[in-house]
Amino acid sequence: MEFADAAIAATCIYNDFELATLNSKHFLSIAELRLYDRDF
């Protein structure tokens, strides 16, 4: 994982935010991270 992805994930976890991303595969290994799931 690149530093930028780790910093974004840490920021979301710390602030109890969901992460909206088009590259969810980059973040699937982080169990504590909540990913925004948009229904199309």
Residue whose tokens read 């530093």 = 3
Residue 8 CB-density burial (10 A; 0-12 exposed, 13-18 middle, 19+ buried) = middle
Q: What is the pLDDT of residue 23?
A: 87
Q: What is the pTM of this model?
A: 0.82
Cβ atoms of 5 and 12 closer than 8 Å: no
Is 2 in a helix, a strand, or coil?
A: coil
Q: What is the pLDDT of residue 2?
A: 92
Q: Calculate the dihedral angle through the C-alpha atoms of 15, 20, 9, 12, rounding to the nearest 10 degrees.
A: 0
Using one digit for the tens of pLDDT, what is the confidence trace for 1-40? 899 999 999 999 999 999 999 988 999 999 999 999 876 5
Cβ atoms of 12 and 22 closer than 8 Å: no
